[in-house]
Structure 1
Amino acid sequence: MPSMPVGFWGDTEGDRYRDTYFDTYPGVWCHGDWVRFSAATGSCTVAGRSDATLNRGGVRLGTAEFYRVVEELPEVDDSLVVHLEDPVGSPGELLLFVALHDGSELDDALRKRIETVLRNALSPRHVPDSVIPVPVIPRNRTGKKLELPVKRLLLGAALSEAVSRDTLAEPTSLDPFTVLAAERQVQGWIGPA
């Protein structure tokens, strides 16, 4: 514990495997969970996925907190939140994507309710800079929301670099994010690293 996979099905050359686990620290396995080691006891605590925590202005925000609050609204079927850090140190940009219940519309009143419920239930730091409607929230085949691939796309990565369509529960679910990323790049909001 934790256990290290030895490869991915269909990845005969091992490229996806290396990109997933050895890209952060070349030659060193990085599994993506936060771990705390105790010098006093020699034990460790696995705290959970590092990509499921946002860091906005030095404050850690759990994505599950957002989902618990926003998805209680009757108009919202599903949601996904990402934080795009600013390399020069400003608070960055917090984007909340919502898949709405049939017949619901993301108008100014619903945006305001989403902002108010997040501010009241959580904190002012949880209020997103933008609330953006999408047809469906991208998930992998096991149901995990694809926060990190969406963030990578919005920061300028190509779809093929962010995730394999073969892993998506709905193969076209990332299409609106690739369109948004291209629009943002044209407007100068982001650029490839």
Structure 2
Amino acid sequence: MSPTRTTSLRQGAELALEDVRLGHHEGQPLPGTVRLRIAPGELVAVLGPSGCGKSTLLRTLAGLLPPLDGRVTQDGTPIDRPAADRALVFQENALLPWRSVRANVELPLAIRRSGRDERRSVADGWLERVGLAEHARKLPRQLSGGQRQRVQLARALAGRPRAVLMDEPFGALDPHTRAGM
């Protein structure tokens, strides 16, 4: 057996913004342009005051908001729509209110057409990891804000994305839970 092993599953993704102007088409663009390269596996934190464009940057990288100018890529390929290998954990509650906690976590796997047993197993594993296994059958409205945030985190990670974009993912969590996450 060979000492090295190859896998068809690529880990990490290179994200790049080349002279990107950020903003919403109906609003005022953010000042200046952004030039940024994030290497696969690199952790990057974007800090700034409220309203400076952090969420806009993340939504652009996720493919939810097109840049006003410039080029946004993943591994050299333009980002022009959301993709399963990029997950965004929203700052606000973005759970589907009619789906149970488990079904919300299963969502990225259902989109990829994973089998029911696999979806349930992966979702239950992530719910256990975020301390919400006993809430799997509840609806999001039956959870606290911090619990809903942990469901969003579990959902993002359940799909095994190559890039995880998080917009203040621990803001709704108490200090003890935040440290555990």
TM-score, structure 1 normalization: 0.27
TM-score (norm 2): 0.28
If each structure's strand is expressed as a fraction of its own residues, which one has the higher value? 1
Q: Which has the higher contact order (CA 8 A, sep 6+)?
A: 2
